[in-house]
A and B are shown apart, each in its own frame.
Chain A
Amino acid sequence: MDTITSNETLQVYPVEPGIKIPGDWFNGKIPLNIEVGSDTVTDSSFNFKHFFSKIPVGLKIGNNVTLWRTSIATEINGLIEIGEYCYITNASIIASEKITIGSRVFIAGGVTIVDSDFHPVEPAARLADIIALSPVGDQKNRPAIKPRPVIIEDDVWIGFNATILKGVTVGAGAVIAPGALVIANVPPGVTVAGNPAKPISI
């Protein structure tokens, strides 16, 4: 075989409300109820497969953001806000109420950010929830679950496979080490690691 070199480039397309991306492998559309700045791109409408928000604006993104193989997921009242120049790959951002991400935030592969447990913890309520969610149930009967919004401030760097749970504020410039499970606020500029995540010195 002669030298055959590859010529791959990441194929990215502008995120525009309501459009179908040309040549998209996934048969879906970018949602209509979003506000997007200029030069914000994604690889596929698959990023929005679980975007169920029905509020007037369920997603606000600034300029020059890259969303690549990322799940921008919301429940019907969910809102996700993302600043500018963020680079988000292969992450899951799942908002029941509100997740706010600042500017220049890097989110690596396998990261999960959630603002809710999505199901009750108490066994009887959890059982009722499972029945309401079943094919024969009615989702109107789901027990109320209290979400707690998540805030990721500017210039935060989130490492591979890290998890950020409900109610957490990650302060500006903080670094979340790969694999960290963040359940408490992270002060600005601090690096945290481990499960549960604790500040480490570097």
Chain B
Amino acid sequence: MRENIIQTGKRGNDGRTYIDNDWYDKGIAGNAFFGENVYLDTSYGFASFQSKEKQGLLMGDASGCYDVVSFIVSEKGKITIGEFSIINGATIICNQQISIGKHCMVAWGALITDNWLHENTFNVNDRRDLLKKTGNDPNRLYPFGNQTAPVILEDNCWVGFGATIMPGVRLGEGCVIGSKTIITEDVPPYAIVAGNPSRIVKYLR
């Protein structure tokens, strides 16, 4: 069996999940749950996992997070990752719900977010107030915005490196998102989408 596999129910006395030989020793919040044979490189990516939901994260059997996968999750955030899905060095920003299906691949530097971090990105005064407020907060927690829409990745999606999946998007089963592509609208099943601005290149079925 490979190292770093989380054994079901292997938790510290504080209820947190710890990975053997983790270079970052803080562990993973107790409301993150893992199926059988889930692989995690490190708990470092969970440093801003602040979900207060009963089940803030569920990773299905034989799924894995490789390198540092940053889970930036608000108190209300809920994430599910299906069986056999591979998340590699990506960032997941969640204020409500992000559902990743089975057999998905998400490559390094990709972002999946269900939250527009600003009420009004294009208003300079709003941005100024937000940064002043955050800069004066001792914990420097960047506030989540109220504009939130769940993101769904259906089964067998492949998200290329550096791609960005914006709030409210549903990626259809078996689709492929090219590297560095920005996805702002739903992607049909089995489509290949690439470019910036993005376009459907072809269908696999």
Contacts and interface: CB of A to CB of B under 8 A. Distances in A.
A109 B196 CA distance: 18
Interface residues of A, number: 48
A8 B49 contact: yes
Interface string B47-61: 111111010100000
Interface of B: 15, 23-25, 29-32, 44, 46-52, 54, 56, 70, 91, 109, 111, 113, 118, 121-122, 124, 127-128, 131-132, 134-136, 138-142, 162, 164, 166, 180-182, 196-197
7 pairs of A and B residues whose beta carbons are closest in the complex: A4-B30, A6-B29, A64-B135, A4-B15, A85-B135, A66-B140, A179-B182
Given A3-B31, A64-B132, A161-B180, 17 more contacts: A6-B30, A6-B50, A9-B50, A43-B47, A66-B135, A84-B135, A86-B131, A90-B70, A104-B131, A106-B127, A110-B109, A155-B127, A157-B127, A177-B182, A179-B164, A193-B197, A194-B196
Interface of A: 1, 3-12, 25, 39, 41, 43, 63-66, 68-69, 84-87, 89-90, 104, 106, 109-110, 155, 157, 160-161, 173, 175, 177-181, 189, 191, 193-195, 202
11 contacts: A5-B51, A6-B49, A10-B139, A85-B132, A87-B142, A109-B91, A160-B113, A179-B181, A193-B182, A194-B196, A194-B197
